[in-house]
Chains A and B, each alone.
Chain A
């Protein structure tokens, strides 16, 4: 189970301001906070406020600032391939590219980039037409991603498929479709591709966000989820994952199962 910390993202006010003022302190703070809270990866996103021509420079700055402080690899989150490449150049260890969609224009740029830098890559089950409304259509796009990745020679263990989680207050019927997509993704290839989700999206603009997030994460784990971009300020999140891993027989039970999971790194 890979937990990817979501907090270093220009969508958050403090990070947006840090980026605009080139102030490394908030970035460092959240890098350390998420590292201590148990993140395996840190998502880095310059966000929409940064001008397109500045994005490569900002991504480089984020990668260097974070990796100077914490020994974690990063998930380079941008719609701009130039920013992704700049991040890959500066990055130490195995990066994750976040993300390509199932549009050929995107895949033809980003899969070769993943191969060149030996990075993993997230493939969203959506294309220029948007997010599919059911599991079957998501799965068709998942298959496109698998076939394309395979044609480029990307190892299946480096492909993370994202079935695209939508907020439950506006697209309530989509939760089950996403879970069904996960189950079927696991049988698309051998070895099967990984599955990742942007978890917090499920609870956008809802009360009790942590509870909704956590509950969906556990349902996802049962359906084959093996990575998630998450809010690590939720102190109960790791405990819930530890418990789920025991109940799904993914870790050997012992009385100290909570502390063992926290110390897994």
Chain B
């Protein structure tokens, strides 16, 4: 008996967002169905991988993670170039040194670093602050001004600091990461507040704050799934593409950081940790993640191989 495939007809769509300008620009989003369900709707642009680059040498990364970056840690420009060699689609610069409890770098210092990294790469640039709301509200406007007109993606705008950051992104022509702590209602409300300031909803990216495998991954998945279902049923305030900070979450788990000697029964760390980051990324891509921010080059390689193994995946070069 022939089986009739029942398809959902979704009235809504995920926004299409452009990151970067001219030859550096890439497009993301635009999905008209649940992730990878090509028979129901289009997925015109594949998820992209951003590699994390810090302005400072991170002091809590395990050797496994620092080894492939030997010689470039502490030099964000060289680090960014190295990540592109490793296959990253774009770079995510994290201004960790701006944190008041570490180096407390000034907004001007941060802006200069961002400018130098931008000039050295031929891909779009994401710049995130140190995660401290008040300091980010001081740093990001300076970064926005220094990179005026370059359509970078700046974050994180939270319920506490979105006004300053939104207004800077609006003035200097950047996209914006709206971040809320694993709560779909807060995510929606923040998007409303940001767009009520006159900011183009097509330039907002949602950071729902994900969890790694074993640390709330299922919960993050369900939130992202609801975000996508809302977008597809026509909720314009949840129709933004989603960014997932996969590396940040993975590389603080004990499964990724414990060495083979510390935990001999868990198997070799290199294999275990990279699988941990990879499984987190693959799962979140299936939940609708669009920008995956990762740390280990091997994870990047495997993740891209996973995407490209599906022959329906659109190559990045075709929509640059």
A interface residue numbers (CB < 8 A to B): 157, 190, 251-256, 259-260, 264
User: What CA separation (Å) do A251 and B186 show in the bound complex?
Assistant: 14
CB distance from B83 to the nearest CB of A (A): 36
Is B99 interfacial (CB-CB < 8 Å)?
Answer: no
Q: Contact at A264–B189, with CB atoms within 8 Å?
A: no
Residue of B nearest to A263 (CB): B236
- With a cutoff of 8 Å between Cβ atoms, the chain B residues found around residue A259 in the complex are 192
**Could you list some 28 contacts between A and B, CB below 8 A?**
A157-B9, A190-B6, A251-B235, A252-B184, A252-B185, A252-B188, A252-B226, A252-B230, A252-B235, A252-B238, A253-B185, A254-B185, A254-B186, A254-B188, A254-B189, A254-B192, A254-B237, A255-B185, A255-B189, A256-B189, A256-B192, A256-B193, A259-B192, A260-B188, A260-B192, A260-B237, A264-B234, A264-B236
Interface mask (B228-254 → A, CB under 8 Å = 1, otherwise 0)? 001000111110000000000000000
Contacts A254-B185, A254-B188, A260-B237 given; 13 further ones with Cβ under 8 A?
A157-B9, A190-B6, A251-B235, A252-B188, A252-B226, A253-B188, A255-B185, A256-B189, A256-B192, A256-B193, A260-B188, A264-B234, A264-B236
Residue of A nearest to B189 (CB): A254
Closest 5 pairs (CB-CB, A-B): A254-B188, A254-B189, A253-B185, A256-B192, A254-B185
User: What CA separation (Å) do A96 and B226 show in the bound complex?
Assistant: 31
Q: Which size class do B's interface residues fall under?
A: 10 to 19
Interface mask (B183-218 → A, CB under 8 Å = 1, otherwise 0)? 011101100110000000000000000000000000
Main secondary structure of the interface of B (DSSP, over half): helix
- With a cutoff of 8 Å between Cβ atoms, the chain A residues found around residue B185 in the complex are 252-255
- With a cutoff of 8 Å between Cβ atoms, the chain B residues found around residue A252 in the complex are 184-185, 188, 226, 230, 235, 238
User: What CA separation (Å) do A253 and B230 show in the bound complex?
Assistant: 11
- With a cutoff of 8 Å between Cβ atoms, the chain A residues found around residue B184 in the complex are 252
User: What CA separation (Å) do A132 and B234 show in the bound complex?
Assistant: 37
Within 1-19 of B, Cβ neighbours of A (below 8 Å) are at 6, 9
Query: By CB atoms of chain B within 10 A, which of A157, A190, A253, A254 has the most?
Result: A254
Within 266-296 of B, Cβ neighbours of A (below 8 Å) are at none
- With a cutoff of 8 Å between Cβ atoms, the chain B residues found around residue A264 in the complex are 234, 236
- With a cutoff of 8 Å between Cβ atoms, the chain A residues found around residue B9 in the complex are 157
User: What CA separation (Å) do A256 and B192 show in the bound complex?
Assistant: 8
User: What CA separation (Å) do A253 and B192 show in the bound complex?
Assistant: 12
